[in-house]
Structure 1
Amino acid sequence: MHCAVLGDPIEHSLSPVLHRAAYAALGLDWTYDAVRVRSGGVAAFLDGLDASWRGLSLTMPLKREVMPLLTSRDSWAVVSGAANTVLLDAGGRHGLNTDVPGAIAAIREATDAPVDRALVLGGGATAASTLLALGELGCTSATLLVRDADRARETVETVARSGRHPAVRVEPLSDLATISEAPADILVSTVPAAAQTPALLEATAAVPVVFDVVYDPWPTPLVAAARAQGRTAVTGLDLLLWQAVDQVRAMTGRFDVPVDTMREAGVRALATP
């Protein structure tokens, strides 16, 4: 069977490393590749697949684009308006969102501390899924810090529609005074490492838990600063691992997924220049 991760950019994705490690440990002669698919291209890609394809992982900018192309959607895909997984079978294309349960698992593996108040950097599909995860963990209020408030509107509306959600207010990412003054139990970053400036690190230095979904380059400035200061760091690899575990379960039908083997493969890949 064939599987792949689609997105743009895609060159540095660790998804092939994790999935291939799982397939090898499970004794499956499956393939998993990284395929560059630009915005607007996912429909044509799906139409070109044959019966040898079993599943796809989706990253930016395709998680929302794929939604109208699906035959069915799981509950988290419906609530979030985004799917990071597509299962392919004779019945059609089935969309899942494993980012939400993956974020819950990643956070709770690292800490059992309260996450009542959150600061979230960035307003895209991953931010929406993470806010939904925080809502499940008891978060009641979140400040969403974005470059463009209009682009964050869909995320705010998504969270507001969910049955259990934090109250979200939107502020400009450039307003460092707001960031430093906002009390928070957890900082979630979905912005590139290049946007993690020394001033931003200083403004967020008091937040006890840092969750950075980015893992390239590694470590990101936010994670490096958190670890140096003895704060709890939840990493992009943690999120990638736990959402991939659910993807492997869904694609293979196997529940004996080798979590430790997948994690070790990811750690080795990050350590390799």
Structure 2
Amino acid sequence: MAGIVVVFDFDKTIIDRDSDNWVVDGLGFTDLFNQLLPTMPWNTLMDTMMKEMHAQGTTIDDIVEVLKRSPIHPRIVPAIKSAHALGCELRIVSDANMFFIETILEHLGVKECFSELNSNPSFVDEEGRLRIFPYHDFTKTSHGCNLCPPNMCKGVIIERIQACLEGKKKIIYLGDGSGDYCPSLRLGEGDYVMPRKNFPVWELICRNPMLIKADIHEWSAGEDLERVLLHIINMVSVEHNSAQLFSVDCKLQTISTSNHALPHALPVPQ
């Protein structure tokens, strides 16, 4: 439906694992990752891990093959395709990185369903090493949000999306992590937030649900995501169609009443 923007987180929402951990574990670098984790921010750590993996002979093809094996619930892809077919605009806001996300979406055959991907920028350099950079360059300036990691405030991204929306479009936001709490707070009345049950964002919302202006619809696994998402889309579509019919009916009644109210022409004096 043209009046709905569906915003997906990626890790543990579209795929069922954290893509960073999936690559590190899948290529046998878990011990090094855990050793370096306390010493630097996560985003910086992932760029460092790509350097170390490259130095030890890991290729981009090796990374791609691991990404293609990322676990995903069988109902997620149908849910994405259904929402897109119904006319919704689909976007991603994720603290993973563009290379991981694009590789997986292309493998799943759904990349073209998304009009915008927001994530940490990444590219393969001339040496064949994957470089990963922060979405917000926190070495130069702060995004000013104490709820989010220094490299990305998803709330800032959601506010930019809101500012670009035309008309009365509604946002449906799906996520699982603590980083999805800030954008949930930025949603307004008439929007929808879909937190994954028993995950950090759900727990944060449950502490004080009154802080959330959007309607809250939880989900647990892929079949729930599909069912709840399509239910909301259908509900919004029915409301939209009803409002249009009501508007047209009101206009017709106004025209009809106005016609009856016209005075009859007075006879011309002889």
TM bucket (normalised to shorter chain) is: 0.3 to 0.5
TM-score, length-scaled by structure 1: 0.34
- Whose RCO is larger (CA < 8 A, sep 6+)? 2
**Where is the strand percentage greater, Structure 1 or Structure 2?**
1
Q: Which has the larger radius of gyration?
A: 2
